[in-house]
Amino acid sequence: MAQYTPPLRDMQFVLHELFGVVDELKALPAHAEVDADTINAVLEEGGKFASQVTAPLNGIGDEQGCTLDKTTHEVTTPKGFKEAYMQYVEGGWPALSCDPEFGGQGLPIVVNQCLYEMLNSANQAWTMYPGLSHGAYEALHAHGTDEQKKTYLPKLVSGQWTGTMCLTEAHCGTDLGLLRTKAEPQADGTYKITGNKIFISAGEHDMAENIVHLVLARLPDAPSGSKGISLFVVPKYLVTPEGKIGARNGLYCGGLEHKMGIHGNATAQIVLDGAIGTLVGQPNKGLQAMFVMMNAARLGVGMQSLGLTEVAYQNAAAYAKDRIQMRSLSGPKAVDKPADPIIVHPDVRKMLLTARAFAEGGRAFAIWTALQIDKELSSTDEDERKDAADLVALATPIVKAFLTDNAWLATSHCMQVFGGHGYIKEWGMEQFVRDARINMIYEGTNTIQSLDLLGRKVLGDNGAKLKKFGKLVRDFVEEEGVNEAMQEFVNPLADLGEKVTKLTTEIGMKAFQNPDEVGAAAVDYLRVCGHLVFGYFWARMAKVALAKAASGDPFYQAKLGTARFYFAKLLPETAMLIRTARAGAKPLMDVEEALF
């Protein structure tokens, strides 16, 4: 079975040594009192919960999956899931970064983000139950009426109830404009909702007493397409005026999907049969309201993949030190043994370091993004709020797609380190690969994230958001340009920054002639931007590590070594990606005969 040790030292490095998070938070009145000891203590406890309570359930959840009783429509989650959830609720974890007005603890998002990395390393399928609830909390917090907030937020914050997002229907996934679920207004101001949703994560289960579904549906007079979608809150059990559980609402789970991974999470078909709901936000503006939840979920999916990358790396690194096979090409290393540990072989090291560089780079990027969200939500300075919001908008598709693509590579490499033993179930490695795969698909496929980045976030505002990130890179390059020891990091970063600017302009020009040029370049473009972001954070981490290398602490040597590996072996992938992005739409679109 796989093992997991929370990477607290690296989290502390990123939070305190790289970003000076406590000083950053001091400037935000809502979090001015948060100190390093509090953050570290919370993460230590969160790490214990993840490694001791939910990690041991990961394999069980995969084996057992969820089961549906077709007569009662009730779903049973794997053994131990419910008890772990009760423990999570009793520990107050769902409330960590929620609004104190609704019972939350008011800690910054950045702390919650670290908690979620650990929960996902331990057990992605389990973590999706509280994860989706938090997204529902955010959407209702931003767009709910006072009545809806009063009814639902305290229960979502305490974890007594969980939440879902119900967007997908059989004929519409990416293109939500096609959705057909109907909402008919009733005389009492509520709506009767009828339709069939599929693929609803955590859509039915036995872990909490009520499930709060956020459902996209159409009003009778709604315009067609995505401009005619409204958002409704539809609970599994209706809520009495006193806030208690009332009658069963008109919805049920019609089936559970059998799937490649995340078996412990119930992926439910939800049949809405005149279910009573209330409108969230404005009529026909449902997508806007839902985007709060979708954006939170996109970052959440990035954290799922970061978690899997980390845990896969930990297990593969331990195995590679223990497993002996063949001798090192440069002569025996473990002379007392019949063969050397496989960690001596260059390609095994490459696989391990790839996973490590993706995990540590991803952690820095994710924590930075969370800190920008805290600024966006809590800064008293309007310009700072706007800048932070722009950076979060730019970062969101990159966190989602780059981290999930990386995790697919990393978990596969880590399985490969185990050889044939990685492919069989016993070690838990093949589960990481299977679990990681969905992250590239849901919450908007990675192709859709790429189109969002290039089409909307970059070209859509003439590169204004990208320039804000570019300025951070340029300032760093200028500052460190005179530092001899930093040249090996700063030069490739500066070079990539210039290439991204040129590539963006070139695609923008071509897109004027032919919009398919955006679609043809977007996926490669996002990956290039992912490396620009990672290059920036790896260079900054190298700077901190260089300054502390003299301390003799092996942590900093490891950080420097991983930074060097990243710049030498991973970032150069951008040369190929830029070339394929520039190859444009023609080789894809002029091939009718080949494809049809």
Ligand X SMILES: Cc1cc2nc3c(=O)[nH]c(=O)nc-3n(C[C@H](O)[C@H](O)[C@H](O)COP(=O)(O)OP(=O)(O)OC[C@H]3O[C@@H](n4cnc5c(N)ncnc54)[C@H](O)[C@@H]3O)c2cc1C
In whole angstroms, what is the distance from residue 347 CA to residue 417 CA? 9
Tokens of 238: 């209706």
Task: Spell out the residues 6+ positions from residue 329 whose beta carbon is closer than 8 angstroms to its own.
Answer: 345, 346
Q: Which stretch binds ligand X (CB under 6 A): 96-104, 196-204, 506-514, 561-569?
A: 196-204
Q: Is 201 in the site for ligand X (CB under 6 A)?
A: yes
Nearer to ligand X, 162 or 354 (CB): 162
Least distance to ligand X from the beta carbon of 552, Å? 47
Q: Is 525 in the site for ligand X (CB under 6 A)?
A: no
Please pick, from the candidates 166, 359, 493, 563, the single residue that binds ligand X as defined by CB under 6 A.
Answer: 166
Q: Is 438 in the site for ligand X (CB under 6 A)?
A: yes
What would the DSSP string read from start to end of 83-101?
Answer: HHHHHHHHTTGGGTTS-GG
Taking each helix axis from N to C end, the angle separating 146-158 and 109-143, rounded to the nearest 10 degrees, works out to: 150
Least distance to ligand X from the beta carbon of 442, Å? 4
Nearer to ligand X, 108 or 261 (CB): 261
Q: Is 124 in the site for ligand X (CB under 6 A)?
A: no
Cβ burial, residue 389 (10 Å; 0-12/13-18/19+): middle
Kindly write out the interface string for residues 264-303 of this chain, putting x where it contacts ligand X by CB under 6 A and - elsewhere.
---x------------------------------------
Q: Is 507 in the site for ligand X (CB under 6 A)?
A: no
Q: Is 167 in the site for ligand X (CB under 6 A)?
A: yes
Least distance to ligand X from the beta carbon of 277, Å? 16
Please give the residue whose beta carbon sits closest to ligand X in the complex.
173
Least distance to ligand X from the beta carbon of 267, Å? 4
Q: Is 139 in the site for ligand X (CB under 6 A)?
A: no
Whether residue 160 contacts residue 245, with contact meaning beta carbons closer than 8 Å, is answered with no
Active site residue 443: yes
In whole angstroms, what is the distance from residue 321 CA to residue 203 CA? 42
Please pick, from the candidates 3, 38, 67, 174, the single residue that binds ligand X as defined by CB under 6 A.
Answer: 174
Q: Is 133 in the site for ligand X (CB under 6 A)?
A: no
In whole angstroms, what is the distance from residue 215 CA to residue 168 CA? 9
Nearer to ligand X, 257 or 384 (CB): 257
State the number of binding residues for ligand X (CB under 6 A).
21
The single residue of 117, 169, 430, 443 carrying the catalytic annotation is: 443
Least distance to ligand X from the beta carbon of 165, Å? 5
In whole angstroms, what is the distance from residue 93 CA to residue 87 CA? 9
Nearer to ligand X, 260 or 326 (CB): 260
Least distance to ligand X from the beta carbon of 579, Å? 21
Whether residue 429 contacts residue 415, with contact meaning beta carbons closer than 8 Å, is answered with yes
Cβ burial, residue 340 (10 Å; 0-12/13-18/19+): buried
Locus of tokens 């709506």: 191
Whether residue 427 contacts residue 315, with contact meaning beta carbons closer than 8 Å, is answered with yes
Q: Is 200 in the site for ligand X (CB under 6 A)?
A: yes
What would the DSSP string read from start to end of 401-461?
Answer: HHHHHHHHHHHHHHHHHTTHHHHSGGGSHHHHHHHHHHTTTSSS-HHHHHHIIIIIIIGGG
Q: For binding to ligand X (CB under 6 A), which residues are involved? A: 165-168, 173-174, 199-201, 259, 267, 438, 441-445, 447-448, 451, 519
